[in-house]
A = this chain, B = another copy of it.
Amino acid sequence: MLTSLNNRKSIRKYQKKEVDNQLLTQLLDTAFRASTTGNMQLYSVVVTKDEKKKAQLAPLHFNQPTYVNAPVSLTFCADYNRFNKWCESREAEPGYDNFLSFLNAAIDTMLVAQTFCVAAESKGLGICYLGTALYNAKAIAQILALPKFVVPITTITVGYPDENPAQTDRLPADALIHFETYKDYTNADIDRIYAHKESLAENKKFIAENNKKTLAQVFTDIRYKKADNEAFSKALLDFIKEQGFLK
């Protein structure tokens, strides 16, 4: 099991082979065994296979090849709608129209998403997470017909791998683990921690292609820009409020 977790990689190119609904349901059933806040199971999963739906959603995922190419995508949603409806039909008054409840549901959702991914990878499937679900949450919610108290948190693509990419780099583990208290990073620590990443040929190529001076600039000026983050933040907060969570 550790071997499978250690060797995993995200897959962005899939075979033209269907992933059948019975297998998806079995893997999700396994994922639903993940821990959940007070056993409330504050999530729902929407399966997208239909070509028309996919065509509507693709631009919201910036037409990333992994999305366009995948036979199926799953959108994992924070969901208090079902629980609220249960409360209301059982003479109980739900008090979950607030930020903590949203985050609890988002956490429940991510535990299920990641357990699904581990289960799927153990069965030879490949997956890739798309951060775009949060960027375009409102438009995605409209296409998936999500009611109030349901917010898409992440979308993953799923399929049988048609590539075997090299594993991407990771920072040294000891730099991410703190014993007892957080040891803040000195400049020398930062140099050491990022040295391997900065030494990689593909990252040097990245800098050159983007006409930047440092790899960090590729992130701040191209990939995850302040202005974009701020615009998406505003839209996301507005939408979470609209869905009932920030009254």
Chain A residues packing against B (C-beta within 8 Å): 1-2, 4-6, 8, 10, 21, 24-25, 27-35, 37-41, 43-50, 53, 77, 81-83, 85-87, 89-96, 98-101, 103-104, 106-107, 110-111, 113-115, 117-119, 122-123, 127-129, 131, 134-135, 144-147, 150, 153-154, 167-171, 173-182, 184-185, 187, 190-191, 193-194, 213-217, 219-221, 223-227, 229-230, 232-233, 236-237
Which of B40, B41, B114 interacts with A34 by CB under 8 Å? Answer: B114
Taking the nearest CB of chain B, how far is it from the CB of A245, in angstroms?
9
User: How many angstroms between the C-alpha atoms of A171 and B41 in the bound complex?
Assistant: 8
The answer on a CB contact under 8 Å between A35 and B10 is: yes
Which of B43, B90, B117 interacts with A35 by CB under 8 Å? Answer: B117
The answer on a CB contact under 8 Å between B46 and A224 is: no
Most buried by B among A40, A82, A135, A214: A82
Given contacts A45-B177, A182-B144, contact A101 B229 (CB under 8 A): yes
